[in-house]
Amino acid sequence: MNQSNLDALGWDSWFEEQAGLHCASTDSVARVVTVDREQLLLLNEIDSFRAKLSGKYLHESVSSAELPCVGDWVCVIKSEADQFGQVHGILERKTHLRRKAAGESVKYQMIAANIDFVIIVQSCHYDFNVKRLERYLVMVKDGGAMPYILLNKTDLVDSVVLAAQLAEILKAGITAPVFTLSNVTKKGFDDLKAVLSPSKTYCFVGSSGVGKSTIINGLVGHDVRETKGVSSTGEGRHTTVRRELIILENGAMVIDNPGMREFAVLGAESGIDENYSDIVELSSQCRFSDCQHTNEPGCGVLKAVAAGVIDAKHYDNFLKLRNESEFYQMPYAEKRKKDKDFGKFIKSAKKDLEGD
């Protein structure tokens, strides 16, 4: 195999050794670009190609953490004639990013493998929360990657507010490098771009809506990732669920992260992500990325409630709090409209009373 080009994808002597242990001599190695159920998109020194998992991965006893995830290096068999390659081995992960899945026993859900840096994104407008930042930092440390912190949407806050947030990070003893950015004014964009090195892998994490996909689109130079519109009516809004490894022009690799969506919906101020982390975690198992956990098919939360894993009362409280915080997170115009409707409702109720 052409080693020098694999090097560009992050391949090194450590993986070479792993390949010797895990792959047959007739195998080739490739890096996982996306995972879509049992189908994968792989990339090697020549090209990208589709592959499927070999039978041993399809057993029920195989935990999700043992399945290939984005960023993994895999052993693959593919002849010219085959439409799909077949993945039958995973090289040991040098680093990983994973989170605890809900449930009794400690299970982990893989987010990405073999990443060098995790870029933790928070929006300084509404999303900023040092406690949550610290939880992300623990998650990064656990997997052996290096953290960067990125405060986005600086155009929406006063410089005094931003300075206070930076001070709060320092006060918490956080030593990870902090970047500030606005995709609107582009301030800070060059600083971020400058730290992304060729053949290194960077994984973006953070609440839904903080601007991860927008940042990645900016780095690529055109839209490769769908971003959420400003409207929260749901119309025409579609966010990609898949994680994907994207190679930038300078050779740095970035992974977007569509997960952790609940954190933003719930809002840091509400404390919901604190008290309902079990439900937040379960939502990663829902079939639809925008699942509201009320009546959607394939809802992981409803399933857990039905099975008694989640207490029904706990679930009810979650819904109540969430609905409140959703109102809080609504764009101003919509909030006003709701307020107005409520005002009208009060007025007409008063009228009814007066009429009596």
Ligand X SMILES: Nc1nc2c(ncn2[C@@H]2O[C@H](COP(=O)(O)OP(=O)(O)O)[C@@H](O)[C@H]2O)c(=O)[nH]1
Chain positions contacting ligand X, by CB under 6 A: 152-153, 155-156, 182-184, 208-214, 227-230
Neighbours of 213 (CB within 10 A): 22
Options 52-60, 97-105, 184-192, 213-221: segment touching Mg ion (CB under 5 A): 213-221
- How many residues lie near Mg ion (CB under 5 A)? 1
Cα 144 to Cα 202, 256, 342: the distances in Å are 13, 19, 51
Q: How far is the CB of 67 from Mg ion (least distance, A)?
A: 23
Q: How far is the CB of 204 from Mg ion (least distance, A)?
A: 9
Q: How far is the CB of 212 from ligand X (least distance, A)?
A: 3
> Checking phi first, is residue 18 left (phi over 0); if not, alpha (psi -120 to 50) or beta?
alpha
- How many residues lie near Zn ion (CB under 5 A)? 5
Nearer to Zn ion, 197 or 239 (CB): 239
Nearer to Zn ion, 139 or 286 (CB): 286
Nearer to Zn ion, 86 or 275 (CB): 275
Using rule CB under 5 A, residue 217 touches Mg ion:
no
Q: How far is the CB of 125 from ligand X (least distance, A)?
A: 7
Nearer to ligand X, 114 or 227 (CB): 227
CA torsion angle for 257, 205, 318, 313 (degrees, to 10)? 80
Among 180, 183, 213, 329, binds Mg ion (CB under 5 A): 213
Q: Which residues, 270 to 309, sit near Zn ion by CB under 5 A?
A: 286, 291, 293, 299, 301
Contact residues: Zn ion, CB under 5 A: 286, 291, 293, 299, 301
